[in-house]
Each structure stands twice: as C-alpha cells, then as structure tokens.
Amino acid sequence: MNKLKMHSPNLTQENIAKIRELFPGCVTEAQGEDGQLTLAVDFDQLKQELSDSIVEGPQERYHLNWPGKREALLTANAPIAKTLRPCREESVDFDATKNLFIEGDNLEALKLLQETYLGKVKMIYIDPPYNTGKDFIYEDDFSENAEDFLKRSNQKNEEGLRLVSNTESNGRFHSDWLSMIYPRLKLARSLLSDDGVIFISNDDSEIHNMRKVCDEVFGENNFIANFIWEKRTNRENRKVVSYRHDNVLCYCKQKGEERPLKQLPMNEKALANYKNPDNDPRGPWKSDPATAQSGHGTKSQFYDLMAPNGKVHKLESGRCWLYTESSMKEAIKDNRIWFGKDGNGVPRVKTYLDAKERGLTPESILFARDASTNEVAKNCLKELFGGVAVFDTPKPVELVKLFLQLSCSKGLVIDFFSGSAATAHAVMQLNAEDGGNRKFIMVQLPELCDEKSEAFKAGYKTIAEMSKERIRRAGKKILEGDSHKDWNRDVGFRVLKIDSSNMADVYYSPDAVQQDLLSAQANNIKEGRTPEDLLFQVLLDWGVDLSLPIRRETIQGKTVFLVSDAPCDLVACFDDGVNEALVRELAALAPLRVVFRDTGFASDAVKINVEQIFKQLSPGTEVKAL
C-alpha cells in the first residue's frame, strides 16, 4: 500500500515542464552577436529555478538583482515537513464555514497550500511591510539546501516569531526586504487562477523595487495598473512633502481576450445620468461625444454630417467622427444619435443602460470619497472594538471591497499579510451586499503586540488574536444588518495553525533508525497529535479542499471521518484494530480516497486484503496509509 509523503511539494521538480509559463523572469533582454538587444532565455536564472542549490552566473543582462536573490529563490522552492492543525475552540462555525484563518509564517503557509489551491485563487490582496526603516520583516533562513530545509522543518518545532527590525542603517536594507517579498510572490503567483489578479499595497519607499519584482514574477506584460489611493485628506506639515497617497500595484496571472478587471457597478450619481427624454423603446440612455481625436481616424471618418432637420455639422479641428459616414447614417436612421430636444444640438451617441458593457471603467486614482481613508478605517475598527484602538493604520474595508468588485463575484480570496483582517471583513460585507459567493483564506503570523499598545492592554497578546477577533465581531455585526436575499450568511472561519509535522522522525528517515530503537519507534505518529490533526495533514498531502464539510461517524465501533457529501472526497480512519468488516463498509461508500494508519490494522492479513477489497467493491477509490 502506497504511503502519503506528508510534506509540501518540491516545486523545483514541477517547474521543469512549465518553464515559459511559470517563469516569465527567465525571459530577458540580452546582447546578441550582432550587438543588438534581443529577447533571450536567461539560462543562469533558469538553472536557479531548476536547482536545489545556489547557482552562480556572471553573465551581463538586464534584470533585477540583489545580494541573496538566489538564496531567496532556493527558499521558495524548498519543501517543508509542516502541517496545519485545526483549532475548533478559536473558530466560528467550524463544520459549515468555507473560510480559513491560518496562523503562522506566511511563507510556510503558501508552501502548504500549493497542492490544494494551485491555480484556484481568483484574487489576492496583500499589504506587506513598507520598509520605512521601522517595519519588521520576516527573517528567512537562506543557508540550507532542500534536503537540510526539509529535515530542519521536521525536527525543529520553531516558535514562528521570526520578525526582525529592518533599519536603514542595515547594509542589506533593501536586499533583506526584497529577499523577504520575492519567494512569497513567486508562491502566490502559482496559486492564482489564469484569470486571477493580485493587488499589492505599498508606499514610495519600495514601490520601485516592488514594481521590478512583480515584472519578473508575473511578467511585465501582465501589469494592469498602479492605483494611487488617497489614504488621507489632511495635510501633514511636519514633513518636507505631505504624502497623502499609497500605491496599489495590480497584476494579472495571464492576460487573455477578456478584461483583466471587471467594470465597477454604477453608483447613484452615475445612474442619474441615464434618462429617456425621447421615450426610446430600448430604455434609459446617456449621451456621449460622437467625435474622437483625429490622430487615429481614417479618411472615411472625415465628412460633413447632415442632421435629420437638414442642419450641417462640421468637425472641429483635430477631431474626426466616431463612425464612418455610412455607419453614421445607419445610426441616425436607427435613432441612436441624439441632436438635442429641438434637433439643432451637437450630435452625440446614445449609450444605453442595458447595453452589454454596463458599469464604470475603474480609474487609476482612488479618491478618499470612494475608497475611504486610514483614519476612517481606524475609527471604524475602534468602534467595533468598543473604543479600543487595536490597529494604528488598518486598511479601509471600502478600499478592499473596491478591489473585490473589480476582480470577482465568487471564488477564493487570499490575504497572506492579514494584519487587521480588513480583507476578511470586506469579503463578508460585500457578499452580504451583492449576494456574492466569495470565500477567504487569511494568513497571519502570531506577531507579539507591543506591551505599551492599547491592544495589549485590552488583552490581545498577538496580531493574530486581534485579526480573529475582528472577523468574529465584524461577522456578528453584518448578520444584524440588511443583506442580499442570495447571501449564504457565512461569517465563520476555520482556524488552522502551522506546526511541525504530525509524523515522527522515523516516518521521513526510516533508514536512520537503529535496530535497538525500532520498538520505541513503532508508532510513527507524534505523541499528543489528535485524529483530526492527522486528517488535516492528509487533506494537505492529497490536495483536498480544506474548507469541505467534515462529518465524524462511528462505524463498526471505530471513529471515521467523512469529508464532503457522498460520494465523499475522502474517508479516513486512524483507529487501531481495523478489520475487514469495517473496510468493506467503507468500500461500500465508494469514496474518491481512503486512508488508514499503517499500524492500525487488526492483523497483517487485513492490511494485505485492504486493496483487494476496494478493487472489488470500489475500484475507483485511491487507497493509502500513513
């Protein structure tokens, strides 16, 4: 019987078959033999993508580089032997919710999510450290190869509090920040669906480097916009320049024929422009200019236009008609050109409210009136927490809601720098307003709160604790308000915490166990790990959705987990004494997958017969042990 590997995938091996698609950073500018610049494969960079050790490459080429880049790439690709352990007591509606809150290092979380959510995420929003000289960044270990990394992550139960202050006096000020963000973006890209988009907040301190990193990770041609968000409306007089804005970079996974971003729903002000003064049977409309700049016009777009009343309209200098003369005549005949109530007005084109393209094209400047401000967000959060200012500069729910409206009405949304959990709040709020079916995954390190902060004084020891409490309070408040009739009312979340593997050392390196120690290593499960702990590691290893409903039933006197409705995606039994009667009853359920403990069978004969029983009763079931 095949065993589950029980560690995250080794991305290096998976990268080989997808070079161009997965590694846009490997296509760069290089100088050819004729001295001309041309696009070429960066083989040094490609070698690094496909290697589990650091590869040196001195070739001159146009690319972003910094001390530690290759080590950061190695870290992104290295597997880890970690798991996600469920925490029911901190969750809300654990059995039914589709939302997840992962507590732990986001680099490890992104690795653990690779197999389950590869290519399935519609939208990512992150607000990473800005690198102002005061921020804390993740201190990743770049000194190991893949094998060492795997061993260490299995044998060492780290605290996870790996934050260091990145001061400007540090000789690697920019390099450390780049080494932190680079592997996380690479892993995030692989999670995005082909039509997925990512929004990244940043200020001017690293926006130039962030843009270059994103060009390499996502591909320069997949850049959509740098949104300028008016984060404050008051002037800051203490500084040389009053910075009232933040940047929000937007990239897509893969530009196709469809718009990478949706149009924004019309607000009341926009809808007020649509009227029907001539009782057009096609419904309300607004008028738009019938001319365009002449630079892109053809000969057929330059003519004198005659209105139905005989009045001749001539073009202004530098303009051309929107349509050719024949098309314009057809539009006039079809009453799609408006000449004013008296017929003497400047010709304008009718745009109907029920036209195919209904909505507002997003603009690159996001004003505070539409996307709110940090100060408003802080006060709203303060009100939610009974007057306690738990976060200093939270992102506004309205800002994230706007990005959600631009990207998806359903599907998975991830924020792996959760912070104040504004993204989770925005997902629940917008679902309640428009009946959408978005679900979220939040990732937050249990970063310690400053003991002098109001949050610490209010009893919150870590940022993760505050994030979870914000979601609980926001969800309760949203349920109390009005909501869309189609909303599923899901304001819950499953808390999963990153921890060392549930499997003992012998599971990963059985050859290293001495003969006289075998009796003590008979059980390959770590002491203190529950059956539900094992279940979630199996879900990760097999790539099964972590938000599927889970039922616990007693069958033949044994505890059995059934994941999703029949036919189950997974059936698991981790009890000892599994006999053929139980195996046959589970086979009758015809699940897609079934898993047992390798040492859990009543006898060797039962273990040998398991696969044969499933071949007879449920040949489509994949059978494995751990």
**pLDDT tens digits for 194-226?**
999 999 999 888 899 999 999 999 999 999 999
Q: Quick check: 574 pLDDT over 80?
A: yes
Determine the structural domain holding residue 25 and report its residue range.
11-77
Report d(CA 529, CA 56) in Å as an integer: 43
Report d(CA 505, CA 507) in Å as an integer: 5
Contact 560, 552 (CB under 8 A): yes
454/381 same-domain check: yes
**Residue 12: CB atoms within 10 Å:** 19
For residue 352, the cross-strand partners are 285
pLDDT score recorded for residue 392: 85
pLDDT band at residue 173 under the 50/70/90 scheme: low
* CA distances to 9, 142, 181, 328, 497 from 138, in Å: 22, 12, 9, 61, 18
Contact 179, 108 (CB under 8 A): no
What average pLDDT does the segment 542-551 reach?
96
In a domain, 427, yes or no: yes
In a domain, 318, yes or no: yes
Q: Quick check: 607 pLDDT over 60?
A: yes
Contact 602, 578 (CB under 8 A): yes
What average pLDDT does the segment 372-395 reach?
93
pLDDT band at residue 157 under the 50/70/90 scheme: very low
240/131 same-domain check: yes
pLDDT score recorded for residue 596: 96
DSSP strand E in 143-191: where?
163-165
For the record, the structure tokens of 626 come out as 């751990």
For residue 350, the cross-strand partners are 287
Q: Quick check: 310 pLDDT over 90?
A: yes
SS3 label, residue 394: coil
The overall longest dimension of the chain from CA atoms, in Å, is 106
Q: Which residue would you say has higher pLDDT here, 72 or 618? A: 618
Report d(CA 60, CA 47) in Å as an integer: 16
What average pLDDT does the segment 547-559 reach?
96
What average pLDDT does the segment 5-14 reach?
61
pLDDT band at residue 368 under the 50/70/90 scheme: very high
| Matching residue, tokens 């003590």 | 520
Which residues touch 580 (CB under 8 Å, ≥6 apart)?
A: 606, 609, 613
**Residue 504: CB atoms within 10 Å:** 18
144/285 same-domain check: no
Contact 581, 608 (CB under 8 A): no
DSSP class of residue 318 equals: T
pLDDT score recorded for residue 95: 92
**Residue 492: CB atoms within 10 Å:** 19
Number of domains making up the chain: 4
pLDDT score recorded for residue 253: 95
pLDDT band at residue 563 under the 50/70/90 scheme: very high
In a domain, 17, yes or no: yes
Residue that terminates a domain, selected from 452, 471, 498: 498
In a domain, 202, yes or no: yes
Q: Measure the CA angle with vertex 372, ends 366 and 378; round to 5°.
A: 140
Q: Quick check: 517 pLDDT over 50?
A: no
Provide the pairing of β-strand 27-31 with 37-41.
antiparallel
* % of the chain with per-residue pLDDT over 70: 83
pLDDT score recorded for residue 158: 43
pLDDT score recorded for residue 145: 46
Residue that terminates a domain, selected from 479, 498, 517: 498
Mean pLDDT over the full length of the chain = 86
In a domain, 359, yes or no: no
What average pLDDT does the segment 441-446 reach?
96
Task: List the single range of 13-17, 182-186, 263-267, 482-486 with lowest mean pLDDT.
Answer: 13-17
In a domain, 360, yes or no: no
pLDDT score recorded for residue 81: 85
Report d(CA 283, CA 352) in Å as an integer: 7
445/480 same-domain check: yes
103/26 same-domain check: no
Q: Quick check: 33 pLDDT over 70?
A: no
227/280 same-domain check: no
493/509 same-domain check: no
The b/e string for 518-557 (b: 16+ C-beta within 10 A; e otherwise) is: eeeeeebbbeebebbbbbbbbbbbbebbbbeebeeeeebe
Q: Which residue would you say has higher pLDDT here, 147 or 613? A: 613
pLDDT score recorded for residue 16: 39
123/200 same-domain check: yes
581/509 same-domain check: yes
536/550 same-domain check: yes
pLDDT score recorded for residue 44: 76
Report d(CA 446, CA 467) in Å as an integer: 10
pLDDT score recorded for residue 68: 84
486/521 same-domain check: no
**pLDDT tens digits for 243-299?**
899 999 999 999 887 889 998 887 777 788 899 999 999 999 999 999 998 887 889
316/172 same-domain check: no
DSSP class of residue 569 equals: S
pLDDT score recorded for residue 566: 85
Closest among 252, 231, 268, 242 to 399, alpha carbons compared: 231
Report d(CA 569, CA 548) in Å as an integer: 9
Report d(CA 124, CA 441) in Å as an integer: 10
SS3 label, residue 282: coil
Residue that terminates a domain, selected from 498, 516, 532: 498
In a domain, 245, yes or no: yes
Contact 502, 525 (CB under 8 A): yes
Q: Measure the CA angle with vertex 523, ends 522 and 525; round to 5°.
A: 150
In a domain, 366, yes or no: no
